[in-house]
Amino acid sequence: MTSPNTRRLRVQIQHQAPLVALGMRVTLSQHFDMELLEGRAATADAPPQLVVADHARGMALAAERHQATGVRPRLLIVSTACRGLEVQAALEAGVEGYVSLRCPPEELVFGLRQLASGVRHYCAESTMQMADALFNSPLTPREREVLALVARGLSNRSMAQQLGLSAETVKRHMTTILDKLHASSRTQALSLALQRGLIPSAVAAQAERAYL
């Protein structure tokens, strides 16, 4: 256990899932070197050094940091689903840490301490998912674009109009997608793409509402 005399790290939790946020507060409150800051107004004089957020909020904060002046807190995202493309986007946006909700509580504490010392921390699951999406994705950018439109429920004809392609070309893309993912239907292709993190979360949400 850390000594009470250790310099405390100012941590603010901005995760949008209440139960997840509560669990993180309980976990961090057990460590003497973690000082939890409640509410944005309360941090005016002592801004947070570290901010823990969900993916959407973390990406928004990362974008805000580019315009901010003065002290800029380091960001750690705790995600319910470490999709490869999302992890890559976070890394490119400058997010210092990424942890899966499936990680043990100790991973959150360790990650925050790593960030405080100036070291990035991406959990094993997030790095594996990102590597899979970067190096093992069987889909071309155009095929991912077609799959994103499938998630919106568009027909081949509608996709052709939106992409400026012929219906036959879209059909060939769809056949290729099914072959590459070893899927027998559009629904199965979407499900496999979701599992491997080959499509962004916004598209994933549309797919889950429409098909899964």
Report CA Rg, the chain: 20
Question: What confidence tens digit (pLDDT) does each residue in 110-120 have?
Answer: 999 999 999 99
Question: What confidence tens digit (pLDDT) does each residue in 16-74 have?
Answer: 999 999 999 999 999 999 999 976 545 567 789 999 999 999 999 999 987 776 678 99
Taking alpha carbons only, the member of 40, 15, 27 closest to residue 107 is: 27
The CATH number corresponding to 9-134 among 1.10.10.10, 3.40.50.2300, 3.30.1300.10, 3.40.50.10860 equals: 3.40.50.2300
What does the domain layout of the chain look like in residue ranges? 9-134, 137-210
81 pLDDT band, cuts 50/70/90, is: confident
- Percentage of residues in the chain with pLDDT exceeding 70? 85
CA distance 195 to 185: 16
Taking alpha carbons only, the member of 207, 89, 203, 84 closest to residue 136 is: 84
Taking alpha carbons only, the member of 78, 103, 82, 59 closest to residue 20 is: 78
CATH number for the domain formed by residue range(s) 137-210: 1.10.10.10
